[in-house]
Chains A and B, each alone.
Chain A
């Protein structure tokens, strides 16, 4: 279920290899600019505000935690490889391919 979340995407960053190469400084910057929009204080009328903010915060904490980020990156990497293998096997399913390019 949660496996589908891409923390880079949540922070408005490029995912995959590109994401894995980002510095902590860049991640923090992205987090800050998202915060100024998504913080519940900024949209008191939005019922989803808390939930989205918590997701943002959780993703940020994961990416700022070296171990967690590394295992997430590896997980993503594995998934990508598995997928491309599957893709080659089945030679179909265009839907999958666009997944990494959300946003």
Chain B
């Protein structure tokens, strides 16, 4: 089973230096400042005194929680005893789960990959989660809905074709690249090394999908301490600071999957009573209905099938998603797609309006499909709707008014709106990460994986039915378990040697990536230094002693030469040498009679370069002093 190995990774050095206790306390006063090792939650400090083994744990590094979504991903971490969202390098709280390869082989991940999808549809990989750990025969329908080519490999597994670099990727490899970016960004944000994570998956993911997700983590160089279910994670975030005993229903409609879980939350124990769902239902499907509607009316009017044109399809999909989102707040959305295609008569455009009512009509069967999993999960938990205290909405698609309408009519309740549906899963994953790191002590999770016969606790234990004295398996493992047990095979996951190959390949690429980035950064920095230095020399003119000027100019020429030659290390060295000379220059100005302190010495080019090309600092200083 996927998480059997989890325990091993949790072993911590068994000494407890007391100072860590002190630092963790200080975390409460300056949450954003404290980047020191272990941050404890308030409950832990309260409780650990009476449990010895807790004080033995020393969190060596931050464990993050990752919501690896079909369309978007998010990262959470425990900061000052609370789960918070980690923003990415672009400053966003979620990252599109999109990877692209450009024509010249550059790899793009996240927002920049998504942005260029229209012009590069065959090499832009999105919704990869629909393919991870799946056999080709299971995903025929999904394969038709994406703009890249999904192919079958010799084992019947799914591969994603990337013509730009002439390679076929496993879905694991694409997901690994998303994970890599998430973790790199997180470690920048947290100013801490991040190599361990709790990753969430839909509750309805089967064993091979879970294993494949774990493999994606490994390929990304990430140790996945635990895979937890998305609705369960949502409940952790929701119940984290609540003390009441409650029975909650989590309704999670994401980009590609639909999960319902019923949980009992009380005394810090989060127990999943039942879970149900639909693996082929999500926000993407709602988009698809709009796409099909647009394409059909275009075909009727113009006789052209836009679905066959990958670029047009990509534009239709993006516009459809936008329209769907608009219809969550507006009652109608304008759709404008100029130059969607061209015929002998000239360019063709789409210009139309979609009303909310029409949208709901287009999606009525999808909305109907939301009902059965809710009913099944209640039945499996042996509860009726009146037993449910709160309904928690998770996933961006729960913003669709018609979806909320279905929830309301099914449960007779106004759903709880205190959690952000896009962030709650990552926050919950961060809570579990905190539990595993020993930062959160008064919470435990009991979960079931509905797809295996038996019960997997989140302690990574897998047991075939309850041992001794044989009561029958409980409703939760029985109710939803029986129809799936046929499909459980490890065969749709990658062979371990292939994973190993991918791991080392990813490492090599990441090294090359870093070198490439370093080369670009260094060159840009050097250009800036050259510019700044020349500007200074010109501005200072006669004030610079001739012999100092000569030395600076000599180093300047060396740097220019190094830039054209393009060897990163040489550029760095010559740049450092030039900086030295410029410092001397500053010093000589400072020592001149009549010069003022602060005129030159403080403004070496390295600092000036940070101020951008308009760094008129020196002029200003001189004026000031006169």
Using CB atoms and an 8 Å cutoff, list the residues of chain A in contact with chain B. Answer: 2, 5, 28-29, 31-33, 35-37, 39-46, 49-50, 53-55, 57-58, 61-62, 65, 68, 72
Q: Which residue of B lies closest to A67 (CB)?
A: B471
The residues of A that contact B435 with a CB separation of less than 8 Å are 41
Q: Which residue of A lies closest to B455 (CB)?
A: A57
Could you say which of B12, B458, B468 contacts A41, with CB atoms under 8 Å apart?
B458
Asked whether, in the complex, the Cβ of A57 is within 8 Å of the Cβ of B268, the reply is no
**Measured between C-beta atoms, what is the minimum distance from B476 to chain A in Å?**
11
CA A45 to CA B11, docked complex, whole Å: 6
Within 8 A of A (CB), among B347-371: none
Contact status of A5 and B457, CB under 8 A, knowing A32-B266, A45-B56: no
Within 8 A of A (CB), among B36-82: 51, 53-54, 56
Binds A, one of B85-93, B296-304, B437-445: B437-445
Name the residue among A35, A41, A43, A62 with the largest chain B CB count within 10 angstroms.
A41
Contact status of A68 and B444, CB under 8 A, knowing A36-B267, A45-B56, A49-B459: no
4 shortest A-B CB distances, which residue pairs?
A40-B459, A44-B10, A32-B267, A39-B444
The residues of A that contact B12 with a CB separation of less than 8 Å are 44-45
Contact status of A29 and B444, CB under 8 A, knowing A45-B12, A45-B14, A53-B461: no
The residues of A that contact B460 with a CB separation of less than 8 Å are 40, 50
The verdict on B469 contacting chain A, using a C-beta distance below 8 Å, is yes
Asked whether, in the complex, the Cβ of B459 is within 8 Å of the Cβ of A36, the reply is no
Could you say which of A2, A53, A55, A72 contacts B457, with CB atoms under 8 Å apart?
A53
List 12 other contacts, CB 8 Å, given A39-B459, A57-B446: A28-B266, A36-B267, A36-B268, A36-B269, A36-B442, A37-B51, A40-B461, A42-B444, A45-B12, A46-B53, A54-B467, A61-B471
CA A65 to CA B442, docked complex, whole Å: 27
Asked whether, in the complex, the Cβ of A5 is within 8 Å of the Cβ of B461, the reply is no
Asked whether, in the complex, the Cβ of A61 is within 8 Å of the Cβ of B446, the reply is no
The residues of B that contact A33 with a CB separation of less than 8 Å are 267
Size category of the binding interface on chain B? 20 to 34
Contact status of A41 and B445, CB under 8 A, knowing A29-B267, A33-B267: yes
The verdict on B248 contacting chain A, using a C-beta distance below 8 Å, is no
Q: Which residue of A lies closest to B441 (CB)?
A: A42
**Measured between C-beta atoms, what is the minimum distance from A23 to chain B in Å?**
14
The verdict on B22 contacting chain A, using a C-beta distance below 8 Å, is no
The residues of B that contact A36 with a CB separation of less than 8 Å are 267-269, 441-442, 444
Q: Which residue of A lies closest to B465 (CB)?
A: A58
The residues of A that contact B329 with a CB separation of less than 8 Å are none
Asked whether, in the complex, the Cβ of B469 is within 8 Å of the Cβ of A62, the reply is yes
Could you say which of B10, B442, B461 contacts A54, with CB atoms under 8 Å apart?
B461
The verdict on B569 contacting chain A, using a C-beta distance below 8 Å, is no
The residues of B that contact A28 with a CB separation of less than 8 Å are 266
The residues of B that contact A41 with a CB separation of less than 8 Å are 435-436, 444-445, 458-459
Could you say which of A2, A46, A53 contacts B468, with CB atoms under 8 Å apart?
A2
The residues of A that contact B441 with a CB separation of less than 8 Å are 36, 42
Contact status of A58 and B444, CB under 8 A, knowing A44-B12, A53-B457: no
Asked whether, in the complex, the Cβ of B468 is within 8 Å of the Cβ of A68, the reply is no
The residues of A that contact B471 with a CB separation of less than 8 Å are 58, 61-62, 65, 68
The residues of A that contact B445 with a CB separation of less than 8 Å are 41
Q: Which residue of A lies closest to B8 (CB)?
A: A44
The residues of A that contact B269 with a CB separation of less than 8 Å are 31-32, 35-36
The verdict on B540 contacting chain A, using a C-beta distance below 8 Å, is no
Asked whether, in the complex, the Cβ of A54 is within 8 Å of the Cβ of B463, the reply is yes
The verdict on B474 contacting chain A, using a C-beta distance below 8 Å, is yes
Could you show 26 A-B contacts with beta carbons less than 8 Å apart? A2-B468, A2-B469, A31-B269, A32-B269, A35-B444, A36-B267, A36-B269, A39-B457, A41-B435, A41-B444, A42-B54, A44-B10, A44-B436, A45-B10, A45-B12, A45-B56, A46-B53, A49-B459, A50-B7, A55-B467, A57-B455, A58-B468, A61-B466, A61-B474, A68-B469, A72-B469
Asked whether, in the complex, the Cβ of A58 is within 8 Å of the Cβ of B7, the reply is no
Q: Which residue of B lies closest to A2 (CB)?
A: B468
CA A57 to CA B469, docked complex, whole Å: 12
Contact status of A57 and B466, CB under 8 A, knowing A41-B458, A62-B471: yes
Contact status of A57 and B266, CB under 8 A, knowing A45-B12, A62-B471: no
The residues of A that contact B461 with a CB separation of less than 8 Å are 40, 50, 53-54
CA A42 to CA B444, docked complex, whole Å: 8
Q: Which residue of A lies closest to B53 (CB)?
A: A43
Q: Which residue of A lies closest to B435 (CB)?
A: A41
Q: Which residue of A lies closest to B468 (CB)?
A: A2
CA A40 to CA B457, docked complex, whole Å: 9
The residues of B that contact A54 with a CB separation of less than 8 Å are 461, 463, 467
**Measured between C-beta atoms, what is the minimum distance from B441 to chain A in Å?**
7
CA A53 to CA B462, docked complex, whole Å: 12
The residues of A that contact B474 with a CB separation of less than 8 Å are 61
CA A64 to CA B459, docked complex, whole Å: 22
The residues of A that contact B459 with a CB separation of less than 8 Å are 39-41, 49-50, 53
